[in-house]
Structure 1
């Protein structure tokens, strides 16, 4: 009896103890899940951004409780839009204007893609957006055209349609503008190319004319030297001819042949420098030959006569100034030196130029190598530069023209998280209602 009674009493006790344990566990679980529930809220920036990274539409739990929204239908409407590229968030009715705007900025910074973001309350009464595609005026107009009294689902669908139409129009306008700009650029480039080709053609024609005139002038110098040599008519084979005379005469003839060959080879003004260098050499040896034949001392080898290099080597330096120019010392042959000293004009070498004749030192850049060759052995351009101050060639030389021969002669990136809307994003939403904060961030 005592044993049976003891067993009977122990079972209720154990049941009571188990009930107490279960009650404590239930209370603990209730407390645990009760405090954890707020952490599972789906209206914070991170959760919304994660949702919009996977879909164009995100609807918070509170919004689902406040309104019946066919999310598939809205997603389908948003997915059909290409140019507008819209991401939409449906929030609780109590969300305020400022809070919705801050949420969109923070969300788009996290998502990092999409052209337009909109937030709308579950009842569709308030809607706002930010966009890289539309400016503030445009997005406000689109929001206003989406019928504020139609509810969130209808309003988002309408907004998607009007936004896409507007985006398509902007894209076409941009394309047309691009084509117009491209056309203008092409016309400008074509005009520039045409002007360049015309200028090039004119330049080549001018250079061809200058080269032809220069060659004619050089040929005159070569011909004159040849005539002087022929007029002397020495027989270099004559055994009685003085060896020094024969040597100078042969050097003159060789220089003539060299000048003639160089003239025939010349293709540009710079090539004429070799011609006039050979002519200067030939002229000196002809002067030496005549002096030897006359029994006179061979003259000192000096720079050619400045006024006319055809005259051969100079005899002295004289002070001379071109008309209206500065006086300077120049080498001159005896005849020209006497003229200058007597106040008369020297016998200046006139060369072909622009269909007429002009002093070689005022006949344009093509004659720079011509002059340079005559004075190459006497200081070259350093000598000429001082003598030709105030002349056309002098101005080119001082400017470095002659250096060894003529003819060598809408939207941006996202802004930072939070803060102001920047980077090309415009904020819109003219039908905000006031009051309330957007929870979760």
Structure 2
């Protein structure tokens, strides 16, 4: 009984083992087919880094080693066309080639012309920086009927000659255009020299007016400091008062030095920024000496920054303009509220004197420096709408970041693959 049971168990184990083998063996045999994958863009690009030809695994044994060497040698001599070729399977689609070629070219990073051709040599297409779509189509048509090897070699020769012919034609046109260009450049250069001289003279006059106006502001602050005549070494002087007075004197010194060094309008921004500091600290010094609270730090009086910090915002409109809120000192605020004219800062301009906001672009940094700590040109833009400086402020500020022309486009064309890109630019795809 025991022996029979053991025999049955052994037979059952053998049957189970045979069934498992029958199930597992086909799966193992099919595994390689399931794992097989088409060549990736990275693999193709890597193969073309140091070679003019890449045969994909799907193309099979389309070319013998000797044929591959012959093609590589031939394409290697096409220096101007700089061709790289990919042999693909016969069943590849137009969409796949359209995606693959630009992506490979981008990865390789060199080469002027890329072509794809099927393993049987029946279909061919390409992209090029040196040849347009129509030219590629013509070359592909002229190689129809050749074997795979001969078609690639012939295409390379034709492409090289076409690129050379294009270069010669361009050179001839270039010489003709160069002669005309020399004449045009001579005329333009003469005109530019005259315009530059006139501009230089105008800018020199504007800078002289601006510097004269700024020196007036610097001198006025210096006289204001001198009239106060505080002895900063006096032991009876309040430390905070001494500190504010010293800051005012230091600001005056900075403004004076910056004015002497200034050679262009932009340099005046640092001068008026220092003057704004000095004006505020003089106001703070006087308040401390009088026992009054130190005033809030506000933007300078819009009508005349020489007046020092503003005390309130008032509604004001330039002649023919719309109203806007501007910071004003006590005297100018009262004048505006009572319908009289505020004391406007008149600056030298063109042999006369004008409000600083209508004295020309040279005064833009001058105004911007006074309001640098309060929003600069952003604040002034709103206050000066309708004035000469206000009309210019929309174009000031940091240049934005714009997208440049990617350049180096690829024109698709060729054979039965049809129109890959419609002549479009595929640079940077």
Give TM-score scaled by structure 1 length.
0.50
Q: Distance in 2 between matches of 1:275 and 1:184?
A: 50
Q: How does 1:210-221 map to 2 (within 5 A)?
A: 210-221=206-217
Query: Structure 2 vs 1, CA of residues 207 and 402 (structure 1 numbering), >3 Å: closer, same or farther?
Result: farther
What residue in structure 2 maps to residue 79 of structure 1? none
What residue in structure 2 maps to residue 269 of structure 1? 265
Deviation at 1:187, TM superposition (A): 3.8
Give a deviation string over 1:29-50, Cα, whole Å, max 9, x none: xxxxxxxxxxxxxxxxxxxxxx
Query: Structure 2 vs 1, CA of residues 188 and 300 (structure 1 numbering), >3 Å: closer, same or farther?
Result: same
Give a deviation string over 1:45-65, Cα, whole Å, max 9, x none: xxxxxxxxxxxxxxxxxxxxx
> Aligned match of 1:260 in 256, 263, 266?
256
CA contact (8 A) 1:245 1:289 kept: yes
> Aligned match of 2:244 in 242, 248, 251?
248
What residue in structure 1 maps to residue 184 of structure 2? 188
What residue in structure 1 maps to residue 41 of structure 2? none
> Aligned match of 1:209 in 205, 210, 230?
205
Give a deviation string over 1:186-231, Cα, whole Å, max 9, x none: 4432221100111111111111111111111111100000000001
Gaps in structure 1 of 5+ consecutive residues: 1-177, 405-441
Query: Structure 2 vs 1, CA of residues 201 and 238 (structure 1 numbering), >3 Å: closer, same or farther?
Result: same
Give a deviation string over 1:267-288, Cα, whole Å, max 9, x none: 1111111100000000000001
Decide which structure has the larger Cα Rg and report it.
Answer: 1
Query: Structure 2 vs 1, CA of residues 275 and 245 (structure 1 numbering), >3 Å: closer, same or farther?
Result: same
Q: How does 1:269-288 map to 2 (within 5 A)?
A: 269-288=265-284
Query: Structure 2 vs 1, CA of residues 245 and 221 (structure 1 numbering), >3 Å: closer, same or farther?
Result: same
CA contact (8 A) 1:368 1:402 kept: no
What residue in structure 2 maps to residue 109 of structure 1? none
Q: Distance in 1 between matches of 2:268 and 2:397?
A: 13
Gaps in structure 2 of 5+ consecutive residues: 1-173, 400-429
Matched, 1:401 2:396: yes
Q: Distance in 2 between matches of 1:182 and 1:235?
A: 74
Q: Distance in 1 between matches of 2:396 and 2:345?
A: 22
Say which SS state the counterpart of residue 331 (structure 1) adopts.
strand
Say which SS state the counterpart of residue 346 (structure 1) adopts.
coil
Matched, 1:296 2:292: yes
Matched, 1:364 2:364: no
Say which SS state the counterpart of residue 341 (structure 2) adopts.
coil
Say which SS state the counterpart of residue 386 (structure 2) adopts.
coil
Q: Distance in 1 between matches of 2:312 and 2:175?
A: 73
CA contact (8 A) 1:214 1:367 kept: yes
Query: Structure 2 vs 1, CA of residues 359 and 180 (structure 1 numbering), >3 Å: closer, same or farther?
Result: same
Say which SS state the counterpart of residue 188 (structure 1) adopts.
helix
Q: Distance in 2 between matches of 1:368 and 1:226?
A: 23
Query: Structure 2 vs 1, CA of residues 314 and 179 (structure 1 numbering), >3 Å: closer, same or farther?
Result: closer
Say which SS state the counterpart of residue 351 (structure 1) adopts.
strand
Q: Distance in 2 between matches of 1:252 and 1:348?
A: 24
What residue in structure 2 maps to residue 335 of structure 1? 331
Query: Structure 2 vs 1, CA of residues 298 and 182 (structure 1 numbering), >3 Å: closer, same or farther?
Result: closer
Deviation at 1:343, TM superposition (A): 0.5
Deviation at 1:184, TM superposition (A): 6.0
Q: Distance in 1 between matches of 2:397 and 2:357?
A: 13
Give TM-score scaled by structure 2 length.
0.51
Q: Distance in 2 between matches of 1:305 and 1:355?
A: 26
Give a deviation string over 1:382-413, Cα, whole Å, max 9, x none: 11110000011111002x13559xxxxxxxxx
Query: Structure 2 vs 1, CA of residues 233 and 184 (structure 1 numbering), >3 Å: closer, same or farther?
Result: same
Deviation at 1:295, TM superposition (A): 1.4
Say which SS state the counterpart of residue 317 (structure 1) adopts.
strand
Q: Distance in 2 between matches of 1:311 and 1:376?
A: 17
Q: Distance in 2 between matches of 1:321 and 1:396?
A: 18
